[in-house]
Amino acid sequence: MIDHEYFMSIALEEAAKAYDEGEVPVGAVIVYRNQILATGYNKVEQLKDSMQHAECVAIRSAAKKINNWRLNGAILYSTLEPCVMCSGAIFQARIAKVVWGARDLRTGASGSWVDLYSLKHPLHQVESLGGIKEQESASLLKRFFELQRKGGICCE
């Protein structure tokens, strides 16, 4: 049995790292056969690269670790519903399942804005499960953006 709550807790630890570095606090973990393969957190501001979302950082790390871009059978955990870009990377990497925390009403690609995961893909289907540790994920994001609006530094 896979403990989604446990792995999402690890993703939240990654999101806290992003928060401490002034990044939008999103964290990701890739799990294969109940073992953590890779982790990642947002590095968009640090690297000045819009493609450095937590999910993409974790996917790159996992692929490098196993020396293969195919992550067949892996589960990706993200504290935020993946966007269209990250969802595309998830499909391309052949990840089997994505488990996410908070909804992203602006760019979420698992039903909050669009639903790519409900579409029949010709080669690969990805299962999506949302709302795991949703409150914790949303709370961290809310705190970050409240500080941003006040002009504060997002480190505690």
Q: Decide if 23 is catalytic.
A: no
Cα-Cα-Cα-Cα dihedral sign, residues 51, 57, 15, 132: positive
Strand partners, 36: 31
Classify 152 as helix, strand or coil.
coil
Given 55, 81, 127, 146, which residue is catalytic? 55
Give the HSE-up count for residue 137: Cα atoms under 13 Å, Cβ half-sphere.
28
For residue 83, what are the contacts with CB-CB under 8 A and spacing of at least 6? Answer: 53, 104, 107, 108, 109
The set of catalytic residues is 55
